[in-house]
Amino acid sequence: MRALLTFILFVVTAPAALAWSFEDHPQPVRSEMTFEEWEFVTSELEYNPRIPDCGDYLRGHYEIYEKRYPAYAQEGPPDERYALWRAYIQTDSAFDNLNTCMTLPYVMEMFRLAKGELVQSDLRYCGQFSREPETEREAEFAALMDRLQEAAQRGSEAALLSFLVTDNGEGMTPLNPDVLFYLRLSLTGTQTANEQRLFDDDFIYWYRAWNQDNLAAQLSPERRRFVEQAVRDRDLAAVLATTGPCGDMGWRPPTPE
């Protein structure tokens, strides 16, 4: 787990100064892959979203990119190139299988910590942290949350979904109503929301805070307009930067037994 934490901190702090256009040199989606690229993906790479980067799966797609664009391999230090490629992938929902690899494993590890070694911790994340981490495990939890938050700010549906499902009113991540409102609006009508049935009244998420009728009422008219504009601008960062401190959760429904 220490290796995982070190990797997270590296990616978050990696520089971003390479003169390279991913718009001009896009990652191929599956329908655009050559036969050799497709064969490599399907025969050599195991997709396991329960472990960071899905094992070798994410790195394998990066290898495809560098083979397709060999000039990219001359653009700077290898670790920096890889970090920038990851950031680019996180902006596009067309690569949500890859974005899941960069978000879901961290959510699972956060839940493991929250239900285990941090079960007595009073540290909370609601869009901001309630205080600074004070222990090694709290610092580990905070690094995971920072990594997930950074990915969600780049806007892919998979990252927004992973950020949304961290919400837990009885745990360490009771997201503020304005943050939940942003995530709900951003995901409404998306393929991800439809596939996961995020907003269905008769599915497992029916009791979650983001599906409650009183969610929007927790926002002032001014705050609601601010969040709605942020959704149009795909600017989760603006919402997180201006959300209030972790506070009253009396509006939330109780977790069904």
Give yes or no: residues 123 and 193 share one domain: no
Phi, then psi, of 8 in degrees rounded to 5: -60, -45
Q: Decide if 252 is inside a domain.
A: no
Band the pLDDT of 43: cuts 50, 70, 90: confident
Angular region, 18: left φ>0, alpha ψ -120 to 50, beta rest: beta
Assess whether 5 and 113 both reside in one domain: yes
**25, 69 contact by CB (below 8 A):** yes
What pTM does this model have?
0.85
46 and 140 part of one domain: yes
Is 50 exceeded by the pLDDT of residue 90?
yes
Q: Which of 90, 125, 155 is the last residue of a domain?
A: 155
Q: Could you tell me if 129 and 238 lie in one domain? A: no
Residue 151 shares a structural domain with residue 37? yes
**47 and 111 within one domain:** yes
The answer to whether residue 131 is domain-embedded is yes
- Is the residue at 53 inside a domain? yes
Q: Is residue 160 part of a domain?
A: no
pLDDT at 17: 54
Burial class (CB in 10 A: 0-12, 13-18, 19+), 32: exposed
Tell me if 85 is assigned to some domain: yes
4 with 129, same domain: the answer is yes
Q: Are 158 and 99 in contact (CB under 8 A)?
A: yes
Q: Give yes or no for residue 158 having a pLDDT over 70.
A: yes
Backbone angles phi, psi at 41, to 5 degrees: -65, -45
Among candidate residues 155, 187, 205, the one where a domain is terminated = 155
Confidence of residue 41 (pLDDT cuts 50, 70, 90): confident
Span 2-15, mean pLDDT? 41
- 17 lies in the same domain as 144: yes
Could you tell me the pLDDT band of residue 201, with boundaries at 50, 70 and 90? confident
Min mean pLDDT across 12-16, 139-143, 190-194 is at: 12-16
How many structural domains is the chain composed of?
Answer: 2
Coil, strand or helix at 125: strand
Residue 257 lies in a domain: no
Q: Which domain holds residue 191?
A: 176-245
Residue 200 lies in a domain: yes
137 and 23 within one domain: yes
Same domain, 148 and 231: no
Which of the 8 DSSP states describes residue 203?
A: S
Q: 147 and 33 in one domain?
A: yes
Q: pLDDT tens, 47-78?
A: 888 888 998 999 999 999 999 999 998 888 99
Residue with tokens 């540290």: 123
Same domain for 184 and 145?
Answer: no
Q: Which residue, 123, 155, 187, sits at the end of a domain?
A: 155
User: Does 169 reside within a domain?
Assistant: no
